Chains A and B, each alone.
Chain A
Amino acid sequence: MRVVIAEDAAMMREGLIRLLTDRGFEVCAAVADADALRSAVADTAPDVAIIDIRMPPTHTDEGLRAAIDIRRDHPAVGVLMFSQYVETRYATRLLADRPTGVGYLLKDRVADVAEFVDALTRVASGGTALDPEVVGHLMRAGRDTAGLASLTPRERAVLSLMAEGRSNAGIAAALVITPGVVEKHVANIFAKLGLPASDSDNRRVLAVLRHVSG
């Protein structure tokens, strides 16, 4: 799998290169600003780009704007936003057109190598990977608080994991339950929230996110 890294902190960049190379990814380019990122993506056509949101010169949201451009100009490239803090508005902007091949993770998540690699792979293959923090924010800020309140704690946990973009198998592994139990929870959640049932993970994420974020 081919990856482009855009991260202005050299230490973090080197660490990511090492981690990804070690895990068998091919790092095509590692750059430190948004312009270099745009041309690197155009030149190397990677499967996924890991993008720091704050980069030079203004250190505000260069990475996010570059990501939106990339999603428009290169729809096949997955985009994983990588940041030290969660900004719900950024997440909704990213998800605005289509919640496919997109991720938004806190940098802290890199500490859990397996999960990070899993999320990256998901994004690269057109899936979604939202940080639990982001999902939490979205759910708290969402409109259907009554619907969410009607869920059992277990169902809420499953809903959060769905919103993060995980498959049934992923949810089952995270909660240490069988996929069959997960399916039952999912069916209950969809019934309680009045969502149309869906087989595809992507469509399911879309429905869940639309529901929780309004």
Chain B
Amino acid sequence: MTRDNGLMTALRAPFTTLALRQAVFCVAGAVSAAAILAVAALVPALGVLVLWASGAMSREPAPAVAPVFLVVFPLTVALLVVLATPLGRALGAVHRTLADRLLDVRVDAPPTRPSKRIRALVSDGPGWRAFGYGLLKVPLAIPEGYGAFCYVFGVVNLSYPVWWPLFRNHPAGTTLGPVWGLTPFGAIGTRTFAGTFLIAAAGLAMLLVAPWLMRAGTALDLAAMRRLLGPRRLAERVRELQVSRARAIDDAATMMRTLERDLHDGAQVRLATLAMNLGMATEKLGVDGPPPDLAQARELVALAHRGAKDALADLRDLVRGIHPPVLDSGLGDALATLATSSAIPVAVRVELPDRPAPAIETIAYFCAAELLANAAKHSRAGRIRLGVGRSGERVMLTVEDDGVGGANPDGPGLAGLARRIAVVDGLMRVHSPAGGPTRVEIELPTHV
């Protein structure tokens, strides 16, 4: 029974949708390998062109275009180095999508590149790994290509006996060339109807072998994808966590220092002054009997009263800075409240199907507060749009203004934000060309 089942599986294998999907994946793999080879061939081709143009390949004097090629060659190499990681990432994205759609295999995307600067491009680890996958794709495509070839031409060869009577009905005596059928071991030619059955038999064999070839090819390919296109390796992740932990500790210490400073210079001074004024007022009122200086005492009490109110306002601001109480009723309410205190009109739009973790809400809130404050200080904008939405398992916070732009992502404010966001594996993208407008996107996980 089991042997029969095995045989049936083997016979059915070529006719499953999986085989068809694998075939499409393999063809795509072969095509991309060819594309990669073409790009890679650009360098030696240009090199040869340089040699030719500079006259090294002939006795003729160098043509006038030689200097042009001498400039173009290193430029191309440099361009390829700079473009290697984005190209690798793009290639990786295409292959991840193909694997997901065709083979139902999900490979998680690596973390996005932190910035668009050239240095980040060149030192982009996941980008280089994806580039490595691109190089590996060329040998990987060989079994895939073979499999796809066997599959497609297996069907074609199998069909020879069917169309032979349709096209080979010439009058007797006509001399015809042989009909060729393609196999992995060369072409088989035939001039007779019976011969087409030989080709069909070869086709059947190819068709039966094809699924296993394709399976082997895609399995190798998927293993490579998991290693090279997936999220970072453990060691890198550990290093990243170490850095972000150090930043979190630093941030906490800085926050405590700021808090101490705020209390020391704010509420504490106000309360000490208030106590002083009340002390003086007490003296002016005297211990008993008619007050020695009622007018001054009144003035001092009024001063103390104002001081107490100021101290309260100070403390309220401080408390809001630690944790805005309105945040307890959700990011939507908190951001709406925040928007009302902005000097520039803010349109708030919060669309979240459910509430993210409290820590994420807090980070999102403080990012929004910082970005609004930045916009108020530097952008000279007339309007700000503040949006919060959900994209998969990520919370997306967007702050856009119509101001003058030129925000520096490496400045202390934005860099500080980026640090705080990195602690929870979040990302920030700043788009702020000189002349504006500015758009800052922050991506946070929904849960820590």
- The chain A residues found within 8 Å of chain B, CB to CB, are 9, 11-12, 15-16, 18-19, 22, 54, 59, 84, 107-108, 110-114, 116
Which listed residue (B261, B273, B307) contacts A59, Cβ 8 A? B261
Which residues of A are found within 8 Å of B273, using beta-carbon distances?
9, 11-12, 15
Q: Is the interface of A mostly helix, strand, loop or mixed?
A: helix
Q: Does B37 contact A (CB under 8 A)?
A: no
Which residue from chain B places its CB closest to the CB of A85 in the assembled complex? Answer: B264
CB proximity of A19 to chain B, nearest CB, Å: 6
Which 6 A-B pairs rank lowest in CB-CB distance, beginning with the nearest?
Answer: A111-B275, A9-B269, A107-B272, A111-B279, A110-B276, A113-B279
CB proximity of A106 to chain B, nearest CB, Å: 9
How far, in whole Å, are A11 and B277 apart by their CA atoms in the complex? 11
How far, in whole Å, are A9 and B263 apart by their CA atoms in the complex? 13
Q: Does B270 contact A (CB under 8 A)?
A: yes
Which residues of B are found within 8 Å of A22, using beta-carbon distances?
280
- The chain B residues found within 8 Å of chain A, CB to CB, are 261, 264-265, 268-270, 272-273, 275-280, 282-283, 307
Which listed residue (B265, B268, B277) contacts A15, Cβ 8 A? B277
How far, in whole Å, are A5 and B283 apart by their CA atoms in the complex? 22
Which residues of B are found within 8 Å of A18, using beta-carbon distances?
280
How far, in whole Å, are A11 and B273 apart by their CA atoms in the complex? 7
A108, B280: Cβ atoms closer than 8 Å:
no
Q: Is the interface of B mostly helix, strand, loop or mixed?
A: helix
How far, in whole Å, are A18 and B265 apart by their CA atoms in the complex? 20
B280, A11: Cβ atoms closer than 8 Å:
no
B283, A15: Cβ atoms closer than 8 Å:
no
Which residues of B are found within 8 Å of A112, using beta-carbon distances?
279
A110, B283: Cβ atoms closer than 8 Å:
no
B283, A111: Cβ atoms closer than 8 Å:
no
If the complex has contacts A9-B265, A59-B261, are A84 and B272 also in contact, measured as CB distance less than 8 A?
Answer: yes
How far, in whole Å, are A22 and B280 apart by their CA atoms in the complex? 9
**Could you list 5 further interchain pairs (A-B, Cβ under 8 angstroms) beyond the known A84-B264, A108-B272, A111-B275?**
A12-B272, A16-B276, A84-B268, A111-B278, A113-B276
CB proximity of A188 to chain B, nearest CB, Å: 34
Which residues of A are found within 8 Å of B269, using beta-carbon distances?
9, 11-12, 84
A113, B283: Cβ atoms closer than 8 Å:
yes
B268, A110: Cβ atoms closer than 8 Å:
no
How far, in whole Å, are A19 and B261 apart by their CA atoms in the complex? 26
Which residues of B are found within 8 Å of A107, using beta-carbon distances?
268, 272
How far, in whole Å, are A111 and B280 apart by their CA atoms in the complex? 8
Which residues of A are found within 8 Å of B268, using beta-carbon distances?
84, 107
Which listed residue (A54, A110, A113) contacts B272, Cβ 8 A? A110
A19, B280: Cβ atoms closer than 8 Å:
yes
B276, A111: Cβ atoms closer than 8 Å:
yes
How far, in whole Å, are A54 and B273 apart by their CA atoms in the complex? 17
How far, in whole Å, are A116 and B276 apart by their CA atoms in the complex? 10
Which residues of A are found within 8 Å of B278, using beta-carbon distances?
111
How far, in whole Å, are A22 and B295 apart by their CA atoms in the complex? 14
How far, in whole Å, are A18 and B277 apart by their CA atoms in the complex? 9
B283, A11: Cβ atoms closer than 8 Å:
no
How far, in whole Å, are A116 and B307 apart by their CA atoms in the complex? 20
